[in-house]
Structure 1
């Protein structure tokens, strides 16, 4: 059992795989277990989950620095990105980073029969090429290796242009401080750094961006029980009008974890997570990057780490390590011993 930032985690030594799946605080485990027990005893009602759904919505908004009324709930990144992709005009030009996580890029590539063109460029070139495109879609932190897009340069590049920006904060929200009220579309899922169950995701839709067609329109997005039968189409105002009907138990866990994370000083959290990661970078002889994700080269790096009992991931021919709240210098020592061995 480990305690970090006032939270308790039942996490084993050497767990460095948050970028694949986060370990929830014990309070989140208890909240979900209680909801399952109530459901199993026949005591659950659909409206019982509304408060948790709204709490998760509000905490996600706080974590990315936007008003809560912009936030729509969903289940996965690709489903939320797909809303934006399907609404692009025929012939639109989209810019993505090379080797971008495919839940960001594939929904746009699926529109090529309509003449939508998707261009890949190195991550560092995104700001320079942004104004030549109708929309830029990029992860704030790259899944494969932890590189960060230059948000300041991207914002400057699109200011005063019609270019829209979609950011995926899945590998950033929960450890990286962000103020993204200027972004047209922000998506993020909860089961990694936000330490929630899989099945909870969010979309922040800027009020000045074109409102996308609600191709998945449903009773919940209409405002709840008043919209369960009959026409005409009803949509709740703001982001709520793009809601997917919530995955209840995922929203229970999301409410607990995101509420805890939103109450932390994320500047301190980043210093902790990236500081541990930078200790590994120093051993590898590469500069500090301020990212919580480290990519370790070597064909046998993932095997060495796994054999030493370290939970990590193999990505793009390298071993990927990810440091979160619950990691300590003891985990760094495990990594360094494994790599030296």
Structure 2
């Protein structure tokens, strides 16, 4: 059990794998457990989950800086971006970063669009040749940050900007409201169950999207049987029916994360990451994710009982709310 930021985490051992799966605080676990118990006792009914869905949607909207009416529900980043990719003209030129997470690139490539990879640092200046720029705010493989200010200043007025904030929301304060798409899965730094994902869409993009995957939830309770087509007038018309239990957890996790001092959360994670970098003679960075290419690093960490991930040939570690200086010391000892 660990105490941090006014709550507790049932973390046993050293867990540095938040970039893969976030560890929820105890109140999130309790909320989901209570909902599962009610389901098992036949005490659940579909309408009772509407409040949790609305709460999580509104909280996500505030993280991004948009209205809840601009937020689409989904279950995974790739599915939500598939909606975008399928609504674009054939042959759309999509610019992305090298080694970008494939849930960002595959939906566009699978739809037959031309996807062009460039080094992350070169991406802003190359946007002039693209119809769409699709990139992660923080790279999954190594924690590198895209230069949002440069991207915003360089991108043309007709180019759509798609940002995957899965590896940034929850620890990196940033203005994302200007992008045409901000999508994120909730099960990493937002400390929610897998199955809750959201996508904020700009008005100009929403006009172009085709609600080809919308079901009854996109129309609401009055639209569950029969034609004609009748969908919500805002971005909810693109909703997928939510994974209810996942949104129960998200409705607890996201508002709690919102209530924290965003600067303190950022400084905590990045501070620990930089303490590790300093101990390994690496330059400081502005990321809570550290990719270590030291020989045998992944095996040494595993042997020491430290949970991390192997990504792109590097041991990937992420520092979030429950982590401490002692965790950094343990990594340094394991790699000594």
| Contact 1:13/1:331 (<8 A) preserved | no
Gaps of 5+ in 1: none
1:125 and 2:116 correspond: no
What is the CA distance between 1:298 and its match in structure 2? Answer: 2.5
Q: Which residue of 2 aligns with 1:307?
A: 303
Structure 1 Cα separation of the partners of residues 324 and 236 of structure 2: 39
- Residue of structure 1 equivalent to 2:7: 7
Q: Does 1:154 align with 2:154?
A: no
CA distance in 1, matches of 2:154, 2:281: 33
Q: Counterparts of 1:152 and 1:260 in 2: how far apart (Å)?
A: 28
CA distance in 2, matches of 1:12, 1:178: 32
Distance 1:323 1:30 in 2: 23
Measure the CA separation in 2 of the matches of 1:4 and 1:179: 26
TM-score when normalising by structure 1: 0.96
Distance 2:72 2:90 in 1: 25
Q: Deviations over 1:137-172 (max 9, x none)?
A: 00000000000000000000115x200100000000
Q: 2: CA distance between counterparts of 1:290 and 1:20?
A: 19
d(CA) in 2 for partners of 1:158 and 1:24?
A: 37
SS at match of 2:306: coil
What whole-Å deviation, never above 9, does each CA across 1:114-140 have from its counterpart, x for those lacking one?
Answer: xx2110001111101112100000000
SS at match of 1:278: helix
Structural mapping, 1:270-289, within 5 Å: 270-289=266-285
Q: Aligned match of 1:239 in 235, 239, 243?
A: 235
Q: In the alignment, what sits opposite 2:329? A: 333
Aligned residue among 199, 216, 219 for 2:216: 219
Q: Matched residues in 2 for 1:121 and 1:71: separation?
A: 29
Query: 1:323 and 2:309 equivalent?
Result: no
Q: Let me know the Cα RMSD of the aligned residues.
A: 1.0
Q: Which runs of 4+ in 1 moved over 6 A?
A: none
Alignment of 1:88-107 (within 5 A): 88-107=88-107
Is 1:207 matched with 2:192?
no
The secondary structure found in structure 2 opposite 1:220 is: helix
Contact 1:65 1:178 (8 Å CA) reproduced:
no
* Corresponding residue number in structure 2 for 1:138: 135
Aligned position for 1:267: 263
Corresponding residue for 1:70?
70
Contact 1:56–1:251 (Cα < 8 Å) also in 2: yes
Q: For this pair of structures, how many residues does the alignment match?
A: 335
User: What is the CA deviation profile of residues 267-305 of structure 1, one whole-angstrom value per residue up to 9, with x for unaligned ones?
Assistant: 110000000001111122222111010001124110001
Corresponding position: 1:174 with 2:189: no
Say whether 1:23 aligns with 2:20. no
CA distance in 2, matches of 1:333, 1:17: 16
- What is the distance in 2 between the residues matched to 1:168 and 1:156? 19
How far apart are residue 13 of structure 1 and its match?
3.0
Q: Distance in 2 between matches of 1:211 and 1:247?
A: 26
SS of the equivalent of 2:192 reads: coil
Distance 1:23 1:232 in 2: 44
| In structure 2, distance between residues paired with 1:10 and 1:151 | 35
Where structure 2 has 5 or more consecutive residues not aligned to the other structure, the ranges are: none
1:243-258 equivalences under 5 Å are: 243-258=239-254
